[in-house]
Structure 1
Amino acid sequence: MFVRTLYATGDPANIDTAIDGLSTEGHELLGQQPGFRGFGIFVDRELGKLLAVTWWESEEARSNSDEALRERRTALLERFAATTAIDNYEAAVFHSVRQPEAGAGLRVTRVEFDPSDADLFAETFRASVIPRLETLPGLARASLLIDRDRGRGLVGAVFTDRESLDASRAGQAAARHEGAAKAHVTVTGLEEFEVVLADVRGD
């Protein structure tokens, strides 16, 4: 699958307007696009951060949807977003244990790597990191999104509730350290979000 992420920041007092618009009208519009495979909305209400993730069955479907939805997406975010950043990724690994629900927690690890190590990174994540994550109570889903050309990626780990997310920090830190060393990856950021919506039809 292929992924587009939208990262927006703004006044925390206005974040609910963006959540409401994206989860209703935005979700409906996405569902009308050919090749649509899923949608996620993740927020940090205290700092005013919103991460929206759309999943597509092909690069072409992702590109076509962006052209079709760009203006409406901007309008839905207008009252909240002071800054926006859009990135495209390949979903190198998508591992689902159970369906997360609203109120679950997401931890995002931002990484950089040599583009020539993209396949090594994906294989290391699949063979070494996923088994470590599966030992953590409450794991719902783990994914690795990569941009092969730029040598950038996101690791997402969703846990069933906030308590499980909090309790997993040490365990995931150990898995992150081991995986980064094996795959020659540099960690450049670490964030946590509340799950508002996480609806993906995996392979």
Structure 2
Amino acid sequence: MFIRTVYATGDPALLDTALRSLNSEGRDLLEERPGYRGAGVFADRALGKLAAVSWWETEDARRNSDEVMRERRGPLMEPFAGTVAVGNFEAAVVHQIRHPQQGGSLRVTRLEFDPRDGDLIVDAFRATVVPRVESLPGLARTSLLIDRERGRALAGALFVDRSSLAASRAAMAMARHEASAKAHVDVVGLEEFEVVYADVRLD
């Protein structure tokens, strides 16, 4: 599948307004588009960060949906969003153990790599990270979203609750270290979010 990410920052006091809009009107707009497979919305309420992720059957479906969403994105996130960045990725690895749920937590690792090493990144994640983390208590899903052309990737780990995410930090750090060394990848960011909602049809 193919992914569009929207990453916004703004005044934490205004974040809930944007979350309500995305969870109602935003979700309705997405569900009307051909090829839509689901979405997730994640928040850091303390710092004022929002990440919205939509999943699409094909690259064309993602591209066509953006023609509509580009016009509506700004109004949906007013007055919260001071900055907005949009990214496009391929879902290279998705390993789901249980369905994520509201109130869970997400850890995102931002990666950069030589575009020629795209296959190496995917192989290392599948062979190293997935086996190491799939037995972690409370893990719902781990995934690798990759932009081969630009040499960027997002490695995500969704947990059913905040305590499970916190307990996983040491084990995830070991897996991150091993995989980044094998795949010649640079870790350029590490973030944690609350799951506002996460509903993706993977079958």
TM-score range normalised by the length of the shorter chain: over 0.9
Partner SS, residue 135 of structure 1: coil
Note the alpha carbon deviations across 1:70-99, whole angstroms, 9 max, x for none: 111211112100000000001101111101
Partner SS, residue 189 of structure 1: strand
How far apart, in 2, do the equivalents of 1:199 and 1:135 lie? 22
Q: Which residue of 2 is the match for residue 78 of structure 1?
A: 78
Identity across the alignment (%): 65
How far apart, in 2, do the equivalents of 1:12 and 1:69 lie? 23
Moved >6 Å (runs of 4+) = none
Q: Which residue of 2 is the match for residue 113 of structure 1?
A: 113
Q: Which residue of 2 is the match for residue 140 of structure 1?
A: 140
Partner SS, residue 123 of structure 2: helix
How far apart, in 2, do the equivalents of 1:134 and 1:152 lie? 23
How far apart, in 2, do the equivalents of 1:84 and 1:60 lie? 23
Partner SS, residue 87 of structure 1: strand
Over aligned residues, Cα RMSD in angstroms?
0.7
Q: Where do 1:47-58 residues align within 5 Å? A: 47-58=47-58
The runs of 5 or more residues in structure 1 that have no matched partner are none
Q: Which residue of 1 is the match for residue 46 of structure 2?
A: 46
- Which amino acid letter does the alignment assign opposite residue 51 of structure 1? A
Note the alpha carbon deviations across 1:160-198, whole angstroms, 9 max, x for none: 100000000000000000111111111000000000010
How far apart, in 2, do the equivalents of 1:70 and 1:129 lie? 34
The runs of 5 or more residues in structure 2 that have no matched partner are none
Partner SS, residue 53 of structure 1: strand
- Which amino acid letter does the alignment assign opposite residue 31 of structure 1? E
How far apart, in 2, do the equivalents of 1:87 and 1:44 lie? 19
1:128 equivalent to 2:124? Answer no
How far apart, in 2, do the equivalents of 1:69 and 1:166 lie? 34
- Which amino acid letter does the alignment assign opposite residue 96 of structure 1? Q
